[in-house]
Structure 1
Amino acid sequence: MQEFMENDSPWLQIFIMSANQFVHKAMDIFISAANRGDLEPRRANAYIKEILHIILFYGQINCPKVDPVDILQGNTDLLLRCFPDVFERCRTHLPTRPPFTVLLDAIVDIVGRRQEQSVLEFLLLQINEMEVPNAGNGLCKNIFVSAVVNFCYFNDEATGLRRENYFGASVTCAGSTQRKIMIDILCYQTWQRDISWAVCIGNRYNRNAFTFPCQVHSMAFNIYTRGESTHGPIARRAPCQKCFIMFPDIEFELRPPEDEHIFWEYGNCAEYESLSQLLNSHPEIASRLHRNRFAIGHEELLTAKYERLEYNLQELQFEYGHEFSFYNSQL
């Protein structure tokens, strides 16, 4: 393995080291939490399987492909015995969300949904230990760590009390085509229907798809702070202009700069995941959304996402069969 690392490109080395570090650090977090009694063993096992599958899947859609044995280095045999289905299905089944979203979800599970500061501090401590060496003998960001984390909540109309937080992270992938693949998976398979609709409408019309019937608050943070104290303040950040266009009625903590030019497409930001969780958890809010009218239908836009996903997977020679299958870590 050392010879392989020395003879390959710096980018491929960073990919492999990031993947290896992310898998093993996440496993340490889940196993330690289960041993402390902070996480049910069954849930810890499912989180491990899901992250392992996603990372190995990314190896299969990387250019060049990276085999599981190269990602996991010396631990392949043990993991293969424990999770044989992961190694089989990373070559045929799609994940349903990025690895950092799974890690964030697990940490919220461990710490508690209402403890936003504790979630952010715990998360920051873990990701600062996921850095990998670069060519200059320094450290660089793990490529599977999101740059931004967001949480949202709403105030209960009946009681006026603040409800629980819903967390999300920006999409992390190694490559622009891989990022499109993950955004299309999220829209087609994972996110709440109205959120996926909003992403499609944003990309087609650069307009918002709906407004909320209640006051929703949103806060975003730059979570990666290499070189700063892991116990220092976590920097709040404004939403990007695209999120401000997409969700004009949300109470954002900060406003985006007016001259901001965003190069990524709708669906990349952390806000989508957190709002999807909110609407999935509160269908009564989703049923009262004020939806704007458009000439093109929801199914037609989702079909376009499906077709782009299909095209990009074929371009990267991922053999998924006659139709998409999605990996389920609960089985």
Structure 2
Amino acid sequence: MADRGNRRDEFLKQQQAYKINAFNLICKMLEWCRTRETKLLMDEMLHSIFFLAKICVVPFSPEEIIPDKEMLQKLLASYPEPVKHLSKLPRRTPFSCVLDMVILMGNRENEAAVKTSLQEIARSLDAMFPVSTTICISQNTKNSMRHYGVSMSTTDQNQRAIMITASCCGPWDDYVSGAVMTFLSNKKKKKDTPEFNGAIKLPAYVRCQAFDLRTGSIKPACRSCGEMFGLPTNETHGWHHGNCAEAESLSNLLKHDKEVKGDVRIPSPKGTEEIRKRVQTDVCQKLKEILANNPYRMTWRGDFYTASAM
């Protein structure tokens, strides 16, 4: 009983940090909301924040994040859709929306400025969910176009598993999702699910480099990213496959650069499209089962939230 009480106390402590961080992110994003594009990012971030609050071990409501009733009323009047569609999954975590806002308000190719702006936001908040710890920049060094991503920013294990699996079922590029699903499916695969290897090897001209958002120092690829993407690393520690900023960053690169996508190697002949689709179906079904069980009791029909602006 004491252990259960200690765990609940820890959950409540994390929840309080989440509320404070989420509120401050909302206030910061509101400062930038002037155009339709910025309002779309705000709408998307609100849905992601409210959804993740709903699936916390100890769930909490928008009213608990924004205790000022007048502020909440005005916010929901401007952005009414996020609270209406919490049975739909977000396409990404809140801090990923913040990253895109920073890029939108600045210059995509000014890497130093993007990192500095995001670092200032991260350092002003508690080092807790929903604040990412890492940013990654991927680029085709032939044309220097930069593509960014941040780590999952989830401290709760169930939230992390849900968001990584959801990303594989929808938003991520198929090569990235295939690489991540290799480890999701082989770890918990059904008896009739074929062995699958969608790990990829990036061409030598691709740069994929991660940085710590608190210190600014370079972060070498972890063992998991080495396994999935063929990134050179001497690290023996690996985060949950798909948790790192490399996944989102590389997904953005592969979605927008046909040359890189065409030059990616899939070492295993078992990474066929037919098997990949079957594995993805099984992974998405597992996600539905997780959401349907306690404590969530959500019926997910495979749809993701699409932001709108009034």
Q: Does 1:19 align with 2:19?
A: yes
User: In 2 relative to 1, CA 57–101 (structure 1 residues): closer, same or farther, beyond 3 Å?
Assistant: same
The one-letter amino acid paired with 2:38 is A
Deviations 1:29-69 (A, max 9, x none): 334345xxxxx611221111111111111121112221221
The one-letter amino acid paired with 2:44 is E
TM-superposed CA distance for 1:13, in Å, is 4.2
User: In 2 relative to 1, CA 268–315 (structure 1 residues): closer, same or farther, beyond 3 Å?
Assistant: same
User: Partners of 1:10 and 1:261 in 2: how far apart?
Assistant: 25
User: Partners of 1:322 and 1:107 in 2: how far apart?
Assistant: 31
Please say if residues 202 and 209 of structure 1, whose CA atoms lie closer than 8 Å, have aligned partners that are also in contact.
no
| Partner residue in 2 for 1:195 | 176
User: Partners of 2:47 and 2:64 in 1: how far apart?
Assistant: 14
Q: How does 1:73-88 map to 2 (within 5 A)?
A: 73-74=67-68, 75-88=71-84
TM-score when normalising by structure 2: 0.84
Which stretch of structure 1 is more off in the superposition, 293-302 or 145-154? 293-302
Q: Does 1:32 align with 2:22?
A: no
Please say if residues 210 and 220 of structure 2, whose CA atoms lie closer than 8 Å, have aligned partners that are also in contact.
yes
Q: Give the alignment partner of residue 153 of structure 2, picking from 172, 177, 180.
A: 172
Which stretch of structure 1 is more off in the superposition, 286-295 or 177-186? 286-295
The one-letter amino acid paired with 1:152 is S
Deviations 1:203-238 (A, max 9, x none): 43796623234511111111124xxxxxxxx11111
| Partner residue in 1 for 2:283 | 305
Please say if residues 199 and 267 of structure 1, whose CA atoms lie closer than 8 Å, have aligned partners that are also in contact.
yes
Which stretch of structure 1 is more off in the superposition, 275-284 or 311-320? 311-320
Please say if residues 191 and 273 of structure 1, whose CA atoms lie closer than 8 Å, have aligned partners that are also in contact.
yes
Q: Does 1:270 align with 2:264?
A: no
Please say if residues 168 and 272 of structure 1, whose CA atoms lie closer than 8 Å, have aligned partners that are also in contact.
yes
Q: Does 1:153 align with 2:142?
A: no
User: Partners of 2:107 and 2:240 in 1: how far apart?
Assistant: 31
**SS of residue in 2 equivalent to 1:142:** coil
Which stretch of structure 1 is more off in the superposition, 177-186 or 210-219? 210-219
User: Partners of 2:300 and 2:132 in 1: how far apart?
Assistant: 32
User: Partners of 2:300 and 2:110 in 1: how far apart?
Assistant: 44
Q: How does 1:195-234 map to 2 (within 5 A)?
A: 195-203=176-184, 204=186, 209-213=199-203, 215-225=205-215, 234=216
The one-letter amino acid paired with 1:172 is S
| Partner residue in 2 for 1:236 | 218
User: In 2 relative to 1, CA 295–107 (structure 1 residues): closer, same or farther, beyond 3 Å?
Assistant: closer
TM-superposed CA distance for 1:28, in Å, is 3.8
Q: Provide the alpha-carbon RMSD of the alignment.
A: 2.4
Please say if residues 199 and 227 of structure 2, whose CA atoms lie closer than 8 Å, have aligned partners that are also in contact.
no
User: In 2 relative to 1, CA 282–330 (structure 1 residues): closer, same or farther, beyond 3 Å?
Assistant: farther
Please say if residues 185 and 309 of structure 1, whose CA atoms lie closer than 8 Å, have aligned partners that are also in contact.
yes
User: Partners of 1:145 and 1:129 in 2: how far apart?
Assistant: 10
The one-letter amino acid paired with 1:301 is V
User: Partners of 2:227 and 2:213 in 1: how far apart?
Assistant: 23
Q: Does 1:72 align with 2:66?
A: yes
Please say if residues 181 and 279 of structure 2, whose CA atoms lie closer than 8 Å, have aligned partners that are also in contact.
yes
User: Partners of 2:148 and 2:294 in 1: how far apart?
Assistant: 31
TM-score when normalising by structure 1: 0.79
The one-letter amino acid paired with 1:256 is N
User: Partners of 2:38 and 2:283 in 1: how far apart?
Assistant: 32
Please say if residues 192 and 279 of structure 1, whose CA atoms lie closer than 8 Å, have aligned partners that are also in contact.
yes
Deviations 1:107-143 (A, max 9, x none): 1222221111111111111112122xxxxxxxxx232
TM-superposed CA distance for 1:317, in Å, is 4.4
Deviations 1:65-94 (A, max 9, x none): 21221122113222222222211112x211
**SS of residue in 2 equivalent to 1:152:** strand
**SS of residue in 2 equivalent to 1:220:** strand
Sequence identity, in percent? 23
Instruction: Point out where structure 1 has 5 or more consecutive residues left out of the alignment.
Output: 1-7, 35-39, 132-140, 157-161, 226-233
